[in-house]
């Protein structure tokens, strides 16, 4: 009995019923059971309904997939419970989405929320975990905390913008302004973001001017939206100019602002590289290192490995002093050999770029090997570090930090 109840999913009462149905003495030890008795117990556990065990007695009710009653045990029980938990999470997420749809439909029908509705939507935001994100957005726009009603209305407009329904968001924000349900600076900041999403720069700038005319001051969120638009449309000079204007009036850029500039600048650099190649000019190693370092900052690992292989294909390879040597492919010096060299001094900038690139390439090579199941220690494109090489890499990272 003790061994039987130790199985996950089988309780003492169910074990007693199974033993009676299988004609097995409950006082017998496990080693005293015959093969026939053990098989009978397994049959009863696998098909309890056939032995007239009531459905309400089973540890699982009707399954939502096969619509059958069953007594699930051991690992299968864990899998079923995990499946149920994920299903309930998804159902909760669907219910949250339904709540936002109903809340939006209230505005369409011109039925405006009261305090109870606001409290319900705040509870939905807490369940979704989006409240901290929206509070940070409002802090960047207004600089102070807002009432719960403003937070809920802003969340609705912000989610509509992220769903690529910017025109509907603009209509909703203007309706909220008419009903005094939204502050002017928040509404017009989101309108600027909507026009940037629609790629309507003139309308975005007009909304920015209207924000100023209403006596509101510009904020970091508006500038970040405009910088993101300029970066996406390859107008890097105007994005930099907007950044300088932002800093000049005393606004602080945040992480998203810098991300837009970094991505825009590195894409512009890549286009310049392509133009130079089309003109037939020979590029050196330093240009490639700058691009690789830039893509490492943005986290674009695919571009990093592409540029590295392009360098190898052109016969450009790294040396311990950061210069380029045009060599035959068979005699190319690898990054691994450079990092092993502990005798020659290495310049600070070359080492820092080299170390960042090597770390990125090492991670990418392992990921590619795991995906394609073709990793080999002898493969020239996938360098496997030994303990000596890791020590050398750590030493040179420390050297770069000190210098």
For the domain that residue 64 is a member of, what is the CATH number?
A: 1.10.8.50
Q: Is residue 248 part of a domain?
A: no
Burial pattern 68-84, b for ≥16 Cβ within 10 A else e, equals ebbbbbeeebeebeeee
42 shares a domain with 9: yes
pLDDT at position 154: 93
Stretch 154-160: mean pLDDT: 92
**159 Cβ contact list (under 8 Å, min separation 6):** 100
Q: Out of 158-162, 251-255, 265-269, which region has the weakest mean confidence (pLDDT)? A: 265-269
pLDDT at position 13: 81
Q: Which single residue is written with the structure tokens 């999403």?
A: 197
Residue 141 exposed, middle or buried by CB count within 10 Å (0-12, 13-18, 19+): buried
Which DSSP helix (H) or strand (E) runs through 309?
Answer: helix 301-313
Residue 257 or 224, more confident: 224
pLDDT at position 380: 39
pLDDT at position 31: 72
Which DSSP helix (H) or strand (E) runs through 326?
Answer: strand 324-326
Q: Which of 254, 239, 170, 256 is nearest to 207 (CA)?
A: 170
Judge contact between 312 and 332, C-beta under 8 A: yes
Judge contact between 168 and 184, C-beta under 8 A: no
Q: Would you state the structure tokens that stand for residue 99, as one six-digit string?
A: 């709540």
- Total count of domains within the chain: 3
Q: Is residue 195 part of a domain?
A: yes
Distance CA 310, CA 318 (A): 13
Stretch 177-198: mean pLDDT: 91
pLDDT class for 53, splitting at 50, 70, 90? confident
Residue 317 is classified by DSSP as E
Average pLDDT, the chain: 73
Q: Under DSSP, is residue 169 helix (H, G, I), strand (E, B) or coil?
A: helix
Q: What percent of the chain has pLDDT over 90?
A: 14
57 shares a domain with 147: no
Residue 385 or 81, more confident: 81
Stretch 116-124: mean pLDDT: 89
Neighbouring C-beta atoms of residue 322, cutoff 10 Å: 17
Q: Which of 43, 73, 103 is the last residue of a domain?
A: 73
Distance CA 398, CA 26 (A): 69
Does residue 398 carry a pLDDT above 50? Answer: no
pLDDT at position 38: 78
Distance CA 84, CA 330 (A): 57
Q: What range defines the domain where residue 116 resides?
A: 88-217
Handedness of CA 297, 298, 302, 303 (dihedral sign): negative
Distances (CA, A) of 373 to 365, 368, 370: 11, 8, 5
Q: Is residue 384 part of a domain?
A: yes
CATH number at residue 177: 1.25.40
Q: Is residue 227 part of a domain?
A: no
Q: Which of 187, 217, 247 is the last residue of a domain?
A: 217
The predicted model scores a pTM of 0.51
Q: Which of 192, 217, 242 is the last residue of a domain?
A: 217
The alpha-helical segments, DSSP class H, found in 146-300 are 148-162, 166-178, 184-197, 201-213, 220-232, 236-248, 255-278, 285-298
Judge contact between 131 and 118, C-beta under 8 A: no
Stretch 186-190: mean pLDDT: 93
Residue count of the chain: 403
pLDDT at position 68: 67
């Amino acid at each position: 009995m003790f061994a039987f109840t130790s199985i996950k999913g089988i309780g003492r009462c169910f074990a007693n019923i199974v033993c009676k149905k299988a004609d097995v003495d409950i006082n017998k030890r496990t080693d005293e059971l015959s093969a026939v008795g053990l098989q009978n117990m397994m049959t009863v556990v696998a098909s309890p309904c056939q032995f007239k065990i009531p459905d309400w007695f089973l540890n699982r009710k009707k399954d939502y997939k096969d619509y059958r009653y069953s007594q699930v045990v051991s690992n299968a029980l864990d899998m079923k419970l995990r499946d149920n938990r994920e299903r309930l999470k998804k159902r909760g997420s669907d219910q949250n989405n339904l709540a936002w749809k109903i809340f939006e439909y209230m505005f369409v029908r011109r039925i405006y929320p009261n305090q109870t509705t606001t409290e319900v939507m705040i509870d939905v935001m807490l369940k979704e975990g989006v409240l901290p994100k929206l509070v940070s957005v409002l802090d960047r726009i207004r600089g102070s905390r807002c009432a719960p009603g403003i937070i809920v209305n802003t969340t609705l407009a912000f989610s509509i913008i992220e769903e690529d329904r910017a025109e509907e968001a603009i209509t909703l924000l203007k309706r909220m302004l008419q009903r005094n349900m939204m502050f002017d600076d928040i509404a017009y900041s989101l309108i600027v973001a909507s026009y940037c999403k629609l790629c309507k720069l003139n309308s975005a700038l007009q909304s920015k001017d209207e924000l100023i005319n209403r006596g509101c001051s510009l904020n970091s969120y508006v500038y970040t939206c405009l910088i993101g638009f300029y970066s996406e449309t390859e107008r890097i000079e105007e994005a930099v100019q907007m950044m300088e204007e932002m800093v000049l009036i005393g606004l602080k850029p945040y992480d998203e602002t810098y991300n837009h500039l970094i991505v825009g600048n590195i894409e512009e650099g890549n286009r310049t590289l392509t133009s130079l190649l089309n003109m037939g000019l020979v590029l050196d190693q330093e240009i490639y290192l700058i691009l690789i370092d830039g893509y490492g900052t943005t986290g674009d690992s695919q571009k990093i490995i592409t540029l590295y292989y392009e360098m190898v294909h052109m016969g450009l390879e790294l040396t311990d002093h950061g210069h380029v040597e045009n060599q035959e492919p068979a005699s190319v010096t690898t990054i691994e050999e450079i990092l092993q060299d502990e005798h020659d001094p290495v310049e600070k900038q070359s080492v820092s770029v080299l170390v960042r690139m090597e770390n990125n390439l090492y991670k990418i090579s392992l990921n590619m090997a795991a995906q394609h199941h073709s990793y080999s220690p002898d493969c020239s494109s996938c360098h496997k570090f030994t303990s000596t090489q890791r020590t050398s890499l750590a030493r040179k990272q420390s050297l770069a930090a000190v210098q």
